[in-house]
Amino acid sequence: MASLAASVKLKSCTPQTTQVSDNFSQLVKQQADIVRIVGEYVKLRKTGAQNYTGLCPFHKEKTGSFSVNATHGYFYCFGCHEKGDVFTFVMKLENISFPDAVRTVAQKAGIALPKREFTSPEEAREAGLRRQLLDIHEAATQYFEAALKSAEAARAREYLTGRGVTAETIAKFRIGYAPEDFNHMRNALGQHFSEDVLRASGLFSAKEQADGSQGQMYARFRKRITFPIANEQGKTIAFTARALDAKDEKGRDIAKYLNSPETALYTKGQVLFNLDKAKGDIRKNDGVLLVEGQMDCITAFMAGIHSVVATSGTAFTEAQVRLLSRFAKRAFINFDPDTAGANAAEKSIALLIEEGFDVKIITLDGGLDPDRFIRDRGVQEYLAAISNAKRHSDYLIDRARQLYPGRTADAKVKAMNFLLPHIRRMPSGVARAEFADDAAQKLGIDSAILRQELRQAAAQRSESVRSHQHDPANETERILLRALVLNDDDPARALAAARLSEHPEWYDGLPSSAVLEALALTPAPANPLDAAPDQASRILLARALEHPPEPAEGAVTQTASLAEQVEDALHTLKRRHLERKQRETRMLMAEAERRGDEPMLAKLTQEKLLLDRQLREH
């Protein structure tokens, strides 16, 4: 272990003292190119001799109202009225002080910093602590890198080799190993840093004593492979570490991944793994690949997909969305296919859509994660999966159909209510209407009432539509229900059961669909209500059987037999089904025409002609 401490080459821990004088800030302002600085955060396009325009980073908008004037060195938003110079811009966007903004702009412009004097002891201590926290994280990174080369780390190296991690990858991402020892790292770093810095770093843990004080520190990460988490400037600010063992010596489960706690440097919801390496390619490609785990990200990056970042297994946040929006407005999400991954994808879609991103979802064959897929199938097949990514609306509609697969009106309302929170987040009214119509068609929502409610909810950005669980059956449904509860040898029941069994699509989506299906497929029990699969169906059936049809007032003709009524009801169901298919085909034709898909348009045209003929003959 002694060799590890010797191998860690530490930077000076003395806080840098650089002063930001008025003269220096004016020098930076004169020499810095505001268009280039702002352009690192906002995608700008030239709209005049000296003017550049883009989407404002300070408020949500679809049409760019944010203007930068290169000659006079200012920015102004005509939407939210934010304005200022290059320092104001960096202060507001990075949420930093004026001196820090001057230093940031100077560094971006390649201007050397003068010596700094602090205005108060508190400012000096805070600046010194942050500097030392950066230094101790750099020291820890070097410590872990050296430890990965030790004899103890043989298993760690074997694991990495098995995952296809090369020496080049290890060096690029500064992957390391945390030894099993509780005290060695503390003793090694304690030679260079104070106890206050060690405790504030998050690299060590301590047990609380009886008097409420903290006991002796010990290494937080032990017997784990370490992955540094860097800020945008590439400085290590935290770690995530993977355990080599599943259980400890007492047989207790060990968390597979352990992350640094939040510190003065690190807030997990404001950092994205690999953004420091990926941001240039994200901006260049105007798109980001968003994955969950570090290994997913590393494997994709080393395979040549450089515009990739990872959430590091934590919940995606609004701050991270705003961070990404500085570089691109297109996102490809490829989270794990399990339930947790699907839930995370849904939440990420919601946040990205609200911020105006164009979002697509990548689905991989075999339920593989990106790391395994690229290693097993190769990067070309993964690139093909990216090219075939689903629009977020198609993905969410498919998800709604999986979660609520029933054909009842109530199941379809639940599917609609799953989708509406996503629809309402879309800034464009036209896009919301298109999503709603697409959802209605793909969910098989045939009821004109339901379709209208969905359109209205989408237009008004409502969260839900009302449940139709207890909607009454119409007279066509009631006739069929009355026939289906009769004995098997009754001609009316035989006719209804035979035709409905052959054509379940005729009654798909009707309030009575669940009980119609149950009665058509099996003989009615002694108590017909026992055939109803749920309480809602039971209520509907009871109401249908409660009042038999009465002849119209003043009628003198003999009422048609029940078998004749069933024939008419089946005829009505079939006609309505054909009309629904006709409407759906028209919608699909319009979509195919919009996409320029001539082969699909020709196929749909033939289908429509057939439906038109069937309706004329019906």
Domain 125-266 listed as CATH 3.90.980.10: yes
Domain boundaries, the chain: 22-109, 125-266, 270-388, 395-460, 475-548+561-607
Cα(76)–Cα(32) distance, integer angstroms: 18
Cα-Cα-Cα-Cα dihedral sign, residues 264, 270, 274, 276: negative
Of the pLDDT bands very low, low, confident and very high (cuts 50, 70, 90), residue 537 is confident
This prediction's pTM: 0.65
pLDDT tens, residue by residue, 422-479: 887 787 777 877 887 788 778 776 545 555 666 666 666 555 444 444 455 678 888 8
pLDDT at residue number 547: 59
Cα(563)–Cα(496) distance, integer angstroms: 9
Cα(492)–Cα(175) distance, integer angstroms: 75
Write down the H helix ranges in 79-212: 86-94, 98-109, 121-147, 154-162, 167-173, 184-190, 195-200
Q: Return the CATH class of domain 22-109.
A: alpha beta
Do residues 300 and 308 make contact, with C-beta atoms less than 8 angstroms apart? Answer: yes
Residue 170 has pLDDT above 90, yes or no: yes
Domain 270-388 listed as CATH 3.30.450.20: no
pLDDT tens, residue by residue, 369-419: 999 999 999 999 999 999 999 999 899 988 988 888 876 667 777 888 888
Residue 521 has pLDDT above 90, yes or no: no
In order of 16, 27, 205, 286, the CA distances from 231 in angstroms are 19, 27, 23, 21
Cα(161)–Cα(164) distance, integer angstroms: 5
Single-letter code of the amino acid located at 113: L
Report which DSSP code applies to 268.
Answer: G
Percent of the chain whose pLDDT exceeds 90: 35
pLDDT tens, residue by residue, 99-108: 888 988 998 8
